[in-house]
Each structure stands twice: as C-alpha cells, then as structure tokens.
Amino acid sequence: MSLRGLPVRPSVLRMQPYAAPQEGRFGKLRLDFNENTLGCSPAVLRALRGLSARQISMYPEYQRATARIARALGLRPGELHLANGGDDTLRLVFDVFVEPGSTVLFPEPTFPMYRVFAQLFGARTVSPRFDAEMNFPVKQILAALRRRPSVLFLANPNNPTGNLLAPADLRRILRAARHTVVVVDEAYVEFSGWSAASWIRRHANLVVARTFSKASGIAGLRLGALIARPESIELFRRVAPPFNVNAAALAAGEAVVRDKAAIRRYVAEVRRAREEFAQCVAQLGYRSYPSVGNFLLVDFGKRGPEIVKKLERKGILLRDRGNEFGRRGFVRVSIGTRGDMRRLAAALTKLTPARPL
C-alpha cells in the first residue's frame, strides 16, 4: 500500500532515524549501548515481585514515587517530573520550547536524539564541532547564543567523547543564555560525580535531564526525569501524557534510589574497568580519549569497521561512530565489569598485529 496522497509531515520524510540497538542481542557481551552489564539491583527485582495484580490493572499514581525520588536526589517534589525514559525527557523539552523554525543548538558529535527531535519538530540546528582533541567548543557555543536559539542541549558527560564540561564554562554559558533554555543531559552523572541539578535554584533557564537506564540498570523499564524550577516542571506536566510512566518503572525507581550502595559498587567497578581497559588499548597501539562516563571513545584507525565486525562474530558488540567524525575508525566502547573488559581485551589482542620491537 502506498502512502502517496496521505498527509505525512514533511519533517518526518526528511529526518534520519536513530540507529536503535539491533535485535538478537541477548547472550552477547553488549558493549554498544552503555547499558549496565551487571543487571539491576536485587532491590528492584523485589519491588517488581511485590506489585499486586490490582496495581498492574489500574492506572499508576505518581505523587509518592515523585516525592521519594525527589528526596533521594536532594530535590523538592515540585522540582522533579518523571518521564518514560531519557528520550521522553527530551521530547517534553521540545514540546514546550521548540516550534517549527526555532533554532536548536548543540555541539557535535553528541547524543544523536537531539538532532532527530530537531528534525521531527522542523527546527533549525546549529552544531559547533568538538576539535580533534575532543575539546568542547566553548567559544563557538557562546557566539551562537548571541542569536538567541530556543534550546541548547549539553550532554554532560558528553556521549561519545566522554569529557565533562567544566563548571566554570557551564556558568559562563548559563549567563550568556539569557533567552535560551539550557538542557544539561546528565545520563552518566553517577560515573562523573558532578551534577548541575542544584543550580536550578540560581538559573531559571536551566533544565537537567536524567535517566535510570545507565548506572541504575533499569533501561528495560524506561524511566527518566526532568529537574527544573517548579514553573518549568508545571509546563512539562501540562504537555505530558497523563499515564506515560508505568507502575513497574515507578516501583523500580523507588527501589533504585533506596539502594544507593548497589550503584556505588557498580560505578566503582566500572571506573576500575575503564582505567584497566584504557591501558590495554594504549598497549595495543590504539588511541583512546579521557572519559568520565561508562564508555571509552577509541580510535582504531582504518581497521575500525573490520574490528567491530570481527568482534561481533565473537559475540562482542561495540558501537561504530565513524560516521559522526567524518572518517572510519572511531568506536565507542561501553565499559562493563572488569571481567567483561578482560574478555574484550583478550579478543582485541588476537585481532591486533604484533607491534615491532
């Protein structure tokens, strides 16, 4: 059946879809989408088993979960809005602040969904580039803010480069963005150890986006959050569907914030594994870039695509990001446990020609 003659939005026909994870990944070493390779906390499983048949049959209520999660994050309930995963938090920002023809600003390479949503909403995009050393383009961002874009998206730490924007630079950006909403996407905040969430009380234009899909290990349940001043939170609640976060996600979210020790243990393990794997990469003659996330950007050179395919045949999945850098070789490697990374290191060593003495 042809869609010819049907009123498909032109922006949908023009947009490039997000490259979602491939199917058939269970049982493989999944180091391609920055998931928690250890699995969720046992507290989450207990919370899910505690759901009654009646709770599942009814529409969920949000007040208790919002209050408990907000308290655990050091926030007031009116400063937090729960959403259906991290992507939904971004969609809500677009729903409130972006119209066709608006300008959306973000540095690149970064999380691809900023561009996907901008295309969907018919917005113009301005995207200064990180330099060859993966330094954040502060001057270019400050210059672009003079033209008053509607929204600036900053992944912090940035994905896939792994670097953290210095607080002093973020402060300069917030002061310059007097007519722009600044969204700081803190998907990897647990690994970086620094958050801008408390700054919402000083900066009315600041919105912080969070996800429970990374360190918290509940990507399969889809839970995210927006942190902002109550006036902005009220706008997000106004445009959000009434029941877009399910009861299982709410129960899991409450369990996650109660079991902070499990997250601390996992984060400590990932940090150790990241440093160990970075040393292995250097010994094999490849370059990696400093990262404070649960991933490492590695430049494998011209053999990058070949290495990714050969590792896939061995059941190890990595994310080829070469297209975003304009040449082959750049691969984002998610960091799992030390056992995960030692398995990858052994396979990578076998694929790497011996270096001359």
- Helices within 177-226 (DSSP H only): 189-192
Under-70 pLDDT residues of the chain: 1-2, 20-21, 354-357
Report the SS3 class of residue 49.
helix
Per-residue exposure over 174-195, b if at least 16 CB sit within 10 Å of its own CB, e if not: bebbeebbbbbbbbbbbbbeeb
Instruction: Quote the pLDDT of residue 321.
Output: 93
CA distance 144 to 176: 10
* 21-37+261-351 and 42-258: identical CATH topology: no
Instruction: Quote the pLDDT of residue 353.
Output: 78
Instruction: Quote the pLDDT of residue 11.
Output: 83
Instruction: Quote the pLDDT of residue 354.
Output: 60
Instruction: Quote the pLDDT of residue 357.
Output: 40
Please check whether residue 305 is in contact with residue 322, taking contact to mean a CB–CB distance below 8 angstroms: yes
Topology (CATH level 3) of domain 42-258: Aspartate Aminotransferase; domain 2 (3.40.640)
Closest CA to 113 of 19, 192, 235: 19
Q: Where are the domains of the chain?
A: 21-37+261-351, 42-258
Q: Which CATH superfamily is domain 21-37+261-351 in?
A: Aspartate Aminotransferase, domain 1 (3.90.1150.10)
C-beta neighbour count of 20 within 10 angstroms: 7
